[in-house]
Amino acid sequence: MKQSALPEVFQFALKMEADGERLYRAMAAKTADAGVKSILNGLADDEIKHARIIREMAQGAVPEMAQTHILQDAKNVFSGLDVKKGFEAAGADQVALYRQALDVETKSRDYYKAQAAQAQEKGARDLFERLSAEEARHMFLVDNMLQFIQRPKMWLENAEFNHLEEY
């Protein structure tokens, strides 16, 4: 089924997921740190998985949605960072990208939450709720990454790596 033939709810959701994937890939391309690049590419990969699920829903299926491990992966990356390396705070353009990503995730979470509330079928409602919850985890992670790039030494020293406990 062509995207233009999909109901508006699915077209909009697919556009949000594609926008999120492009944004995370662009952010990863601008990041020198391999661990942070891995997290951003993982977020982009999650957006691709969401789009696949949405396409399957549009075709009448009730697809399974595997739990993401992005928070645990991110926690592993951040716990491996060395505070003594003297990280520099990110530039305004990088901060703006993270804020944009946080906005995309917030809108996605809210959209899926609204769709869950309107869904007539339990399977669709449950799936929209899971998508909303996953976008909330992405929001949590992006917000922590934003805090980290703005104040890396403080974030690492004060957090004692408790920022990324399972959400």
102 torsion bin: left (phi>0), alpha (psi -120 to 50), beta (else): alpha
pTM for this entry? 0.79
- Is 79 within a domain? no
Q: Which residue has the higher pLDDT, 98 or 86?
A: 98
- Is 24 within a domain? yes
- Is 41 within a domain? yes
- Is 2 within a domain? no
If one counts the domains in the chain, the total is: 1
- Give the domain extent around 17: 7-73+87-159
Q: What is the mean pLDDT of residues 54-82?
A: 75
Predicted confidence band of residue 149 (pLDDT cuts 50, 70, 90): confident
CATH code (residue 67): 1.20.1260.10
- Is 12 within a domain? yes
CB 71 within 8 A of CB 164: yes
Q: What is the mean pLDDT of residues 62-75?
A: 73
Query: Within 13 Å of residue 28, how many CA atoms lie on the same side as its CB?
Result: 17
- Is 1 within a domain? no
User: What is the tens place of the pLDDT at every residue in 102-120?
Assistant: 999 999 999 999 999 998 8
- Is 166 within a domain? no
